Structure 1
Amino acid sequence: MAHTTRQTSREGVVTGEDRSIGELLSAVTSDAQKLLRQEIELAKAEVREEATKAGKAAGMYGGAGFAGYMTALFASLAAVFGLANVMDWGWAALIITALWAVAALVLYTMGRSRMRQVSPKPERTVQTLKEDAEWARHPTR
């Protein structure tokens, strides 16, 4: 009967060629847990990045809201103080209102454009999870 020696390292990991199935499963489970923790950290980083993009787009929407407020304010002021000396009061108010409406439209369009760049799905994490799943199915490739 041949006797093989099993040595244990300082970390408690069995070294050598005689590791039992239980020890191998334990090592695989430990590696899988480590990989899962790393994937979770990657997902968190991606979500933070996308939240920053969403915050900037929300700022553009806020700017569009402020421009809309200014549209109402200046439409009222234009009705009173506008170009009443040059043209009818109503036409003067309409011109100022149109200028602020254009500003609101530009800000809204920019905000919408930025919001479309925001991806709610952590793309890199999804890709690495697909790669991990493929490796798990065929670890020798």
Structure 2
Amino acid sequence: MSDPTPSEVKAANTSLGDLVGEVTRDLSTLIRQEIALAKAEVKDSAAKAAAGAGMLGGAAYAAGMAVLFLSIALWWALATLIGGGWSGVVVAVLWFVIAAILYAVGRSRLTRVEGAPQTVETLKEMPNTLRRNRENR
């Protein structure tokens, strides 16, 4: 027969209460470490997301500036054909049409958003479930 392992010797010589206390402490330590790891991971992910969002913001600003200067160039080019005032009106009307199309498409997509219908349904069922559990006691 083989010699008992150190864990077996400790289990044989330690009370159940001490063993449960040790397991509880170890579990508590493990949970604290997992929470600390999760916090560190979330902080790292948030920093990366913030950097990415900043880059996207910069790209949006640059795109806006490009659209502005292309609009000015179009205005200037049209000014040689139809005059400065009317070319400004043409460019403004063009942007109004683009804005109206984007508004219509965006609004129609927003009306199709359902939210979280399954979650809402589940939440509506919870009071009934809790009532049934109280009645069964």
TM-score by length of 1: 0.43
> Which is richer in helix?
2
Query: Relative contact order, CA 8 A, sep 6+: which one is greater?
Result: 1
Higher Cα radius of gyration: 2
